[in-house]
């Protein structure tokens, strides 16, 4: 009998969320046992069970408590209106839900949509938006290939996910209203037991430590002693940089953690100030 406490997570079987969800768990040091095509899996080194589902089914599965937590697009959470707690915004699968119309149409404001037929896979979010804007339009629900609807005369406009906008362009459409941004979120069943809450906290702690390290570099450089202050001021590190004497008289080694972007911005200035042997090392985890 399995008596050990476990937490169960629902993630997408395949699709845009799947890989990044698994990657996020791995960055948190949680590795899944079986291939991702299995319906149920578990983690090798964490009391975690994994349920692979279509993203449409994740909000309800979590709301019902069949899964304790889940990774799903905010768009699906908003559409399904299931009772789940949004625990964390995860920063991947970023997109937006927008209204788009044929490129050739002229557009002034949202009143354009009065009396129009709008194709979408997100009727609930669209209905809420139209109601808020006091627009009476016809919603035509279709489950896929929404973007071709205007071209084949099935609708006047669409309401769909947009990220780069290239799908719109290739279907001669233009985005005219952004209704809501979306990204992957970690959701949880309301009222988790204390044991499961503790496991969730542990996962969040690990995820945040890996997240914090992203884009950060550990910088080492050698500098003449009299330049330490000038160079330190260029390095907006976590705390003041570590300064260590070198065997060569008058020289020190400086260590600090900085944003990769900042590194590229200040590299010229560092060299001009006399820094030598500059090393930039990736950081895996950062615990504050």
- Strands 184-188 vs 69-73: parallel, antiparallel or unpaired: antiparallel
Does the protein bind Mg ion through residue 202 (CB under 5 A)?
no
Residue 158 phi, psi (nearest 5): -130, 160
CB of 56 to ligand ATP, least distance (A): 5
- Nearest Cα to 269, choosing from 243, 235, 224? 235
**Interface pick for ligand ATP out of 7, 10, 11, 12 (rule CB under 6 A):** 12
Does the protein bind ligand ATP through residue 98 (CB under 6 A)?
no
Cα distance from N-terminal residue to C-terminal residue, the chain: 38
Does the protein bind ligand ATP through residue 172 (CB under 6 A)?
no
Does the protein bind ligand ATP through residue 21 (CB under 6 A)?
no
Count of C-beta atoms within a 10 Å radius of residue 267: 16
Binding range to Mg ion, per CB under 5 A, among 54-62, 63-71, 139-147, 183-191? 54-62
- Nearest Cα to 104, choosing from 178, 165, 157? 157
Q: Which is nearer to ligand ATP, 54 or 131 (CB)?
A: 54
241 touches 275 (CB < 8 A) = no
Q: What is the C-alpha separation between 142 and 160, in angstroms, rounded?
A: 11
- The count of chain residues that interact with Mg ion, using the rule CB under 5 A, is 2
CB of 96 to ligand ATP, least distance (A): 9
CB of 73 to ligand ATP, least distance (A): 2
What letter does residue 243 receive in the DSSP assignment?
E
Q: Which does 73 bind (CB under 5 to 8 A by kind): Mg ion, ligand ATP, none?
A: ligand ATP
Does the protein bind ligand ATP through residue 186 (CB under 6 A)?
no
The pair of three-digit structure tokens given for residue 11, joined into one six-digit string: 């993630």
The DSSP result for 216-231, as a single string, is EEEEEEEEEGGGHHHH
Q: Which does 163 bind (CB under 5 to 8 A by kind): ligand ATP, Mg ion, none?
A: ligand ATP
The pair of three-digit structure tokens given for residue 36, joined into one six-digit string: 């991702």
Contact footprint for ligand ATP (CB under 6 A): 12, 15-17, 54-56, 73, 75-76, 93-95, 161, 163, 182
Contact footprint for Mg ion (CB under 5 A): 55-56
């Amino acid at each position: 009998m399995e008596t050990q406490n476990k937490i169960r997570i629902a993630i997408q079987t395949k699709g845009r969320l799947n890989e990044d969800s698994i990657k996020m768990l791995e960055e948190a040091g949680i590795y899944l046992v079986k291939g991702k095509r299995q319906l149920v899996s578990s983690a090798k080194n964490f009391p975690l069970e994994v349920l692979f589902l279509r993203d449409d089914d994740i909000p309800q599965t979590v709301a019902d408590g069949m899964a304790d937590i889940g990774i799903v697009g905010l768009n699906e959470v908003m559409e399904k209106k299931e009772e789940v707690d949004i625990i964390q915004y995860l920063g991947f699968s970023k997109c937006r839900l927008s209204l788009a119309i044929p490129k050739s149409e002229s557009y002034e404001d949202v009143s354009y949509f009065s009396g129009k037929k709008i194709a979408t896979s997100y009727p609930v979010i669209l209905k809420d938006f139209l109601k808020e804007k006091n627009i009476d339009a016809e919603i035509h629900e279709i489950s896929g290939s929404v973007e071709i609807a205007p071209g084949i005369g099935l609708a006047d406009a669409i309401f769909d996910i947009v990220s780069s906008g290239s799908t719109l362009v290739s279907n001669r459409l233009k985005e005219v209203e952004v209704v809501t941004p979306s990204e992957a979120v970690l959701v949880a069943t309301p009222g988790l037991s204390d044991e499961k809450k503790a496991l969730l906290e542990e996962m969040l702690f690990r995820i945040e430590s890996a997240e914090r390290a992203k884009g950060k570099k550990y910088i080492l450089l050698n500098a003449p002693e009299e330049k330490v202050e000038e160079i330190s001021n260029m390095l907006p590190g976590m705390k003041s940089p570590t300064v260590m004497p070198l065997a060569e008289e008058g020289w020190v080694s400086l260590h600090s953690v900085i944003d990769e972007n900042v590194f590229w911005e200040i590299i010229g200035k560092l060299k001009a100030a006399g820094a030598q042997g500059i090393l930039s090392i990736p950081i895996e985890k950062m615990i504050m």
